[in-house]
Chains A and B, each alone.
Chain A
Amino acid sequence: MVCCGNPTLVMKDFPTILKMPGEKQDQTLLLCLRLGAFLCFAGWAWVHFYWQAPYGVLLWQNNIFSLLERIGFTWEEFVGTGAGDGWVQEWSGRVGWLFLACTILSLTARNASRFQMIGLLTGSLFLIILSYAKFVKAQYQLPMFVEHGGQMLIPVLLVLALFFGVRHPTTVCTAIIAFIMTFAGHGAYAVGFWPTPSTFYAMTSVILNVEYQATQIFLYIVGVMDFVICLGLFLPPIRCASVLYGAAWGFVTALARPVAGMSPSLNYWGADQFLHEAILRASHFLIPLYLFFLWKKPSSTPFSESTKET
């Protein structure tokens, strides 16, 4: 079992990957997870350093204030005065460094280093906290938390792949759960089980240049498809097609943010506003891609023969 990846492998190798021998295919599987974790952490590090991570909704609470008062903090010390940063701003910045460290760890982590893997799991914990904060901010809409499954679990997946192996049932099951969370959460919004986020309509209308009614139909269809591909994972004849669709759709939805929002008329073409939104969603297509490579059988050459040839 191969437990470390080859970062030099790139997407242009895609056609040949399908015919790769097992060892190289394992490297590809790991690369998917490494890239997913790397881009997810990089995107969130950008949010921490350049914008503002959504911890405020969890921290700026009266009960937190009461707790702080009991342990001797003042509110000003905690949230700042505006003229100066408080504990919240200082620590939010420091968490950014953690995300940056995890970005590097995503590329360098080896199964021999427990320290690196603990670092990645800590990163995952903070991704869970961020997802929970977004869930609270969205007035406790369950899909808001669930659809972040891919982002929350991608570092865990990488650690599992390093520790147990890319084909280990624990790794595979975690990937399946991450896939289902991402697409079922998204589908629940798109179908309208919870109020469909405005950005879904907006991005669809802008990119496809269609009216509201057409957007509604489109979102309903892709929402249903989100659930269909989740079920498809459990039906061997269509699971490869399901994850391939998931990879394509995850890629499109991640890219939709910059495509819909960027414009030459904006400073830096709006890249600083929108690009990280695509980057931190990389797990939405790289986890399905991992599953696709995992389940895709070498097309014509039997595994044993190809091994022999090499």
Chain B
Amino acid sequence: MKTLTTFLSYAIAMAITIPAVSQQKKKADEGRAILAIPEVEKKDVICFALYTVSDGTLKLTAQLYPLAEDDPKEVRLEIEKGGDWVEIAKVDAIHPGWTAPFRVENWDDSKKTRYRVAHGDEATYEGTIRKNPKDKDEILVAGFTGNSIRPTHGGDISRQDIIDNVKEADIDILFFSGDQVYDHFKHYAAWLKFGRDFGDIIKDRPTLCLPDDHDVGQPNLWGESGKISTLNGASDGGYSRPGAYVQEVERAQTSHFPDPADPHQIGQGIGVWFTNLNWGKIDFAVIEDRKFKTGPAGRVPKQGPRPDHILNPDYDPNSVDVEGAVLLGERQLSFLDDWTQNWKQCDMKVVLSATIFCGGAHIHGKASGRLHADMDSNGWPQTGRNKAISTLRKGFAFHYAGDQHLATIFQHGVDEHGDGIWSFGVPSIANLYLRWWQPLEPGSNREEGAPDYTGDYLDGFNNKITNYAAANPETNPAGNILNTRSAGWGIIRLNTKSREITMECWPRNVNIANPASKQYPGWPRTISQFDNYNPPSWGKLGELSFDVEDPVVQLVDAETKEILYTVRANGKTFTPGAPKGKMFMVKAGKDAPETIVSERSTVGSSPRMVSLMEKPQKNLNSKGPHAD
């Protein structure tokens, strides 16, 4: 009896405590996103559709609201021909996730085509498959990241400004670099909301969405080829959510990508989607910088209060560059190596990935949350990072990414500052987590008049980097909840005629067509395509003059036979850059470097005329090359 009385007393105490805690929860709920799947009428069951066209294949994925048990599962794809709708494909919607992925071969990308997705007798969803803009001089790619929908970050503020600006600028490609979804358990509901927010621009242009850590339901992602992660925070490597969940996410976000370059599955039956998209004579490599990456926990010596954070500025960076740690992995490096050499029907190359190849922030979370290095960044592992940059610069690839919630422009270095590719990390659509680029010392070799935080640096892993811009949030953001937190988006203008790349970084809720509208400080910035591999220590070989426009030129180390780079020249002349004191074989061709132009060129060698049109092209293995 005494026990029962005591227990009842406790029960009463709990009865008071639990509502009090619930009240606290209610208060917290006010700052949270409401994420529910709305009930829609049968005619509205198709939420949105995403597509890409590459190498004559259309891939389009229709995203449906939940179908009832007695609803037909079949979804049809129709195109408009002579005023009529003609069915060209049909598939059953895949559950879980209610996606309908279509694949149509022999697609004629030389003309614009109206399409509609149809379900049952009532539901249709219309859009436009654009013609391949090969004839355009300038291709515009809008870049987005970090789509927080939480009111506390301004996530509940309408995206209409983005929709209007994308339409106004007539953007050619949409690139969502990651964290389209922040809910770790309800990807489907959040993805439908993403579709409601952005579907109006997605339906009419090729779109690439790269699922990043939050999309697959974890705060950080070191995928380790599909391993299962059991550590809170997932720094032991692998996926926290079940493989089936990850597969559903990737089906929703990537099943409309061009076919993967190397489709072998990884652990837990998770697929891969790294591939390339050739659009408007720009060759985009779409890579997975998280999927194969090694988790740091237990692999590297502990350097801070979290396995992935380094706080001690005096630590030895070499100690964390452990043997066997992977960044992109051999499969992707092999793909990229081939990709940099293939210049068929393309003038410029861009690599798209989740994040940039360095530790690109000093302060994390709140002002004063200084980290020396963060292993979630692609600055770690250093060997893997250097392999990635060394491969990408062989194709003069420009890097477009996001993830950091902090817009930056960096040029990456491997052996010296400025010898690698440039990157533009775009700001978040709504900024969930603040970061600042705030080095303790001014950078060296700054441009005249540039802010102190620009210039040459070593990041927390001793990687060589040069900062050109950073859109830091305010120290204690208040007021304009989006832009004081440096929310926004990016545009890159890829000019295939001048071979220039212009980076633009726009705050939210400005009209980018209005000349009075200002970008974040440091933008716009224009670089040459050829700046993506132009080491300061290099010299120039003799100028090559060709009898064809825009030939493909390749430089090969005469001793090691290692390819230094392959690139499409702009016009009829090209002056190859090269390291001093070595000999190089130069190859060239109209679309591939099939002709040996010179076998032993050195820096300072004399100019030469090269005929690629009149002579039959030499076989790569042919003997008797020219020599300087």
Contact = CB atoms under 8 A, between A and B. Distances in A.
Contact of A81 (B24, B307, B370): B370
A206 B242 CA distance: 11
B240 A270 contact: no
B3 A173 contact: yes
A268 B236 CA distance: 14
Given A205-B228, A261-B231, A273-B297, A142 B25 contact: yes
Interface stretch (B339-347, B361-369, B423-431): B361-369
Interface of B: 2-3, 5-7, 10, 14, 18, 21-22, 24-25, 28-29, 32, 184-185, 217-218, 228-232, 236, 238, 240-245, 297-302, 305-307, 311, 313, 362-363, 365-372, 440, 476
Interface in A50-65: 50-52, 60, 62, 65
A215 B365 CA distance: 35
Contacts of A140: 24-25, 28-29
Given A65-B476, A267-B299, A257 B362 contact: no
Contact of A60 (B184, B299, B369): B369
19 contacts: A50-B302, A52-B305, A75-B476, A78-B368, A80-B370, A82-B363, A82-B368, A82-B371, A140-B25, A142-B21, A142-B22, A169-B7, A170-B6, A173-B7, A177-B14, A198-B242, A199-B240, A261-B230, A268-B298
B244 A169 contact: no
Interface in A107-140: 136, 139-140
A174 B9 CA distance: 11
B242 A267 contact: no
B28 A273 contact: no
Contacts of A199: 230-232, 240
Q: What 9 A-B pairs have minimum CB-CB distances, sorted nearest first?
A: A82-B370, A266-B298, A52-B305, A198-B240, A195-B185, A169-B3, A140-B25, A260-B230, A212-B242
Contacts of A270: 236, 297-298
A76 interface: yes
A80 B363 CA distance: 11
Nearest to A135: B21
Most chain A CB within a 10 A radius of its CB, from B3, B10, B230, B242 = B230
Interface in A170-213: 170, 172-174, 176-177, 195, 198-199, 201-203, 205-206, 212-213
B476 A62 contact: yes
Interface residues of A, number: 50
B6 A198 contact: no
A198 B218 contact: yes
Most chain B CB within a 10 A radius of its CB, from A173, A174, A198, A206 = A198
Interface of A: 50-52, 60, 62, 65, 75-76, 78-83, 86, 136, 139-140, 142, 145, 169-170, 172-174, 176-177, 195, 198-199, 201-203, 205-206, 212-213, 215, 257, 260-261, 263, 265-268, 270, 272-274
Given A80-B368, A83-B370, A176-B7, A267 B298 contact: yes
Contacts of A169: 2-3, 5-7
A263 B230 CA distance: 12
A267 B231 contact: no
A144 to B, nearest CB: 11
Most chain A CB within a 10 A radius of its CB, from B22, B366, B372 = B366
Given A52-B306, A173-B7, A267-B298, A202 B369 contact: no
Contacts of B440: 83
Contacts of A80: 368, 370
A196 B408 CA distance: 37
Given A51-B305, A52-B306, A263-B298, A273 B236 contact: yes
A230 to B, nearest CB: 13
Given A82-B372, A267-B301, A272-B298, 11 more contacts: A60-B365, A75-B367, A136-B28, A142-B18, A142-B25, A173-B6, A174-B10, A195-B184, A202-B229, A212-B242, A273-B297
A82 B313 CA distance: 9
A23 B65 CA distance: 66
A273 B235 CA distance: 10
B299 A266 contact: yes
A51 B300 CA distance: 15
A273 B228 contact: no
Contacts of B372: 82
A270 B365 CA distance: 28
A177 B7 CA distance: 8
A270 B229 CA distance: 13
A273 B367 CA distance: 28
Given A75-B368, A83-B313, A86-B368, A139 B306 contact: no
Given A198-B240, A261-B230, A270-B298, A79 B7 contact: no
Contacts of B305: 51-52
A198 B229 CA distance: 9
A89 B231 CA distance: 23
Nearest to A201: B242
Contacts of A60: 365-366, 369
B230 A272 contact: no
Nearest to B372: A82
Contacts of A257: 230
Contacts of A50: 302
Nearest to B297: A273
B304 to A, nearest CB: 8
Contacts of B371: 82
